[in-house]
Each structure stands twice: as C-alpha cells, then as structure tokens.
Amino acid sequence: MAAEEFRREWFEKDYYAVLGVPKNADQAAIKKAYRKLAQQHHPDANAGNTAAEDRFKEVSAANDVLGDPQKRAAYDRAREMGATGFGAGFPRGGVGGYPGGAQTIDLEDLLGGMFGGRPRSSGAARPRRGSDLETQVRLSFADAMAGVTVPVSLAGPAACGTCRGSGAAPGTQPATCGDCAGSGQRVVNQGVFQMAQTCARCGGSGRIVANPCATCRGTGTQRRTRTVQIKIPAGVRDAARIKLAGKGESGGAGATPGDLYVRVKVEPDEVFGRRGDDLVLTLPVTYPEAALGAHVQVPTMNGAVTLKVPAGTASGKTFRVKGKGAPRKGGHGDLLVTVEVDVPAKFSREEKKLLEQLQDARKESPRRDLGVA
C-alpha cells in the first residue's frame, strides 16, 4: 500500500472533543456538530472576537480530519499509537493493520508530540517558522474612513540586513543539501517501517551555507528595530485585525518568517457614529423647520449636502442619504440622519408671545388619543 503520513498535531489534539462528539460518531453526526459550531463561532458573526476566531479555526481543523473518512482512519491509528506507545499500537502482522504495509513516520514529529523531546537519531533541529507578531495602531475616525499608511516600529529578531536572511556571505548563495536533495529529511528503511528523519547534515533546512555571513554568522537573523509600513484600507472598522504575511519574526536562514497581525483601534468621532457600513448622525432642527419644512445642510465625510426636511417632520425621524457612509468593497454605505427638534431652554419675550399665540390658535390637543386634554 502507499506510505501513510501522520501529522504531529494529531497526537496533541482530541478532535472528537473539539466537535463534542463520541469517537464512534457517524459522519452525519460529525457534519451536524461542525455546522453548528462553525455557525456559532464564524468570524462574520463575531467581529473583533479573537477567541471566537481561534475556536472557529480549531473546529475547522477538526472537521477537516474527521469529515474525511480516510484522514479519520489515519487519525484514529495515530491516536492509538500515542496512547499505547511507539510500536505497541501496531496490530500483529503489519503496520497500521495492513499486513506487510509500508508506513512513513516522521520520527521527530512523532516522538516530539508523544514525549515532548527530540529523537536521539536527529543530529540537529529542523528550522522552525518564525513567530507571529501582533501590534496595535490607533487611528482617528477620519483617517479610518479615508485609509492611511502607518509606520510601525518593531524590535526583535529580523532578517539580517547584510545577507537579507539567507545566512550566506554577500555574493554567495546557499547550496542545496546533497544528502537530502533539499527536502530536509532522509528516509531510512527499517523493514516494514520507513523512518523519515531530519537530515543531520543541513539540520532540516535543505541548504548548506559554505560561506556564512559575517554579520549574522550564518543564522540569517539579527536583533534590530525595523519599521514596517502598514497600509490601512479605507473604511476599516474598530477592532479590525489586519494580517501582513511574512512580516513577523524571522525564522532564521532557510525558514519562513512569521506573520504580523495589526489590531486597529479607531477613535470615536464627535459628529459621526457607525452602524456596519452606514454612518449615523443626529441633526438638530428648529421647531419651525420641522413644522413648516426646510432644506438644511448636513455634514458628510467629504463635504456638506442638502437634505429636504418635509413639513410636519417629527423629532426622531431618520432620513437615509445614499452613498455617504463608510467606504466598502464596490462603493459606500449610506448616511443615516436622525432629526432632533431643538427646544431652547430660554425664550425671548417676542418668541414667547408668538408661541402663546400658536398655542391659542391650535385647538386640538396632541394628547386627544389618550383621552386627556
């Protein structure tokens, strides 16, 4: 049969517990449990909630394995190996229940996942991906609507400025490791087993640096402060999380750098609020404007527009101004303008006289429907 690959995380993650189903659950039950949890923790329904986002990723990873019958069978065998010890989990007569079957096992991942240590057969550690970093930027409401580019300073391991992370001296290039042909692993046949071990010559990088960089001594990294230009898209929301692939911590020569996650904090505005892609504001109008109707000026993010307030408009009435909201893909949201009739705390003698005349002229009470005067 074909060689079978186990993943390290299979020994560490109980995917049945993640989905909340028993080990003997059928595929329909697994599918149902996944759909329920995915809907509950989907990022679109939990904007800015990192815990829900992480839970959604965990649930998706569990479904990716348990939702595929072949991956599920391999996962179950891997879990049995982790529970009983290396070798004890194999049925008699073959590997993984297949008589005479050949099974490729990543020995470093297997022993590292089961016992927390490195295999004694490995002469060097495999290059690891650089760590992800997270930072925060604060924006004014206006900058968030317009979109800006913000410089952010990061201190820590970064790609060497001399060799640009290759680990090789300027003018030279790392060579492909001849022992593993650049794969970083060597497969050793052990009867029914095919042991995949980290290449001892290149340490799993798949590269050989004959002339190391003098600045970083071949590591490909140096500790320094670097500036990353972060482009914030127009219309970004408060608590948005922006990913910049490959801008995290350097993983060293031959390794992939981590990612940089930028958390955006948008300061509140004195005039505008936000509701999804729509902007909202409260517009004060006088009693005559509300009663008789008027054309009034309304502020927007890019200049004032004229709004028609019909005669007899009640306080609290909301008008929609199309296309004057927050930027979004393919256009803009709307501006929701709520009219608020302004009642002065004090009146001039003339104003008071006119209001008394209006009160005398109006015969019907607005409270008539309540049965009171």
Q: State in words which class domain 131-161+218-266 has.
A: mainly beta
- Per-residue tokens: 110: 């297997």
In the chain the first and final C-alpha atoms are separated, in Å, by 92
Q: How many CB atoms lie within 10 A of CB 265?
A: 12
- Residue 239 Rama label (left phi>0; alpha psi -120 to 50; beta): left
Task: Please tell us whether the domain made up of 273-370 is placed in CATH 2.60.260.20.
Answer: yes
How far out from the chain centre does Cα 148 lie? 20
**Domain spans, the chain:** 8-97, 131-161+218-266, 273-370
**pTM, two decimal places:** 0.57
Q: What is the pLDDT along the chain (373 residues), one digit of tens a residue?
A: 334 455 667 777 899 999 999 999 999 999 999 999 988 888 777 877 888 888 888 888 899 889 989 888 888 887 776 665 544 334 333 333 333 344 444 544 444 444 444 444 433 444 578 889 999 999 999 999 999 999 999 988 888 999 988 999 999 999 999 988 888 888 776 555 566 778 888 878 888 999 999 999 988 889 889 999 999 999 999 999 999 999 999 887 777 889 999 999 999 999 999 999 999 999 999 999 999 999 999 999 999 999 999 999 999 999 999 999 999 999 999 999 999 999 888 889 998 898 888 888 877 777 777 766 6
Q: State the virtual CA torsion across 362, 364, 370, 373 in degrees, nearest 10.
A: 80
In order of 56, 184, 208, 210, 217, the CA distances from 176 in angstroms are 39, 10, 6, 11, 19
In order of 20, 284, 285, 290, the CA distances from 344 in angstroms are 61, 11, 11, 14
Q: Looking at domain 8-97, which of 3.20.20.140, 1.10.287.110, 1.10.490.10, 3.40.1390.10 is its CATH number?
A: 1.10.287.110
| Same CATH fold assignment for domains 131-161+218-266 and 273-370 | yes
